[in-house]
Amino acid sequence: MSLQEFDVLIDRMKLAFEYADNLGQYVEAAKVLFQMNEQLPEDLQMTFEELDNPDEAKSFVKQYNSELKSAIVDYRQRLMIS
């Protein structure tokens, strides 16, 4: 995947995440985080805990959002170099 393709895909996912997060739809926001994580190479993918309880979705989203953003930046840097 090229940097441009990755950026377009991630930008769309970020919008979907922010929309769900802003509306308080944390289960949907968590699903978007899972999808974003799947777009990263295996060595950068995060190992998420299973989200069994929708009541835990808000803390899940808050915990993993910044970590995933960091992994995305790392992957973008790789794509820029290659």
pLDDT band at 53 (very low <50, low <70, confident <90, very high): confident
Q: What is the pLDDT of residue 8?
A: 97
- The whole-angstrom separation of Cα 26 and Cα 10 is 18
What does the pLDDT look like over 12-36, one tens digit per residue?
999 999 999 999 999 999 999 999 9
- The whole-angstrom separation of Cα 54 and Cα 17 is 16
- Residue 46 pLDDT more than 80? yes
| Cut 0.85: pTM above it | yes
Residue whose C-alpha is closest to residue 57's, from 20, 82, 6: 20
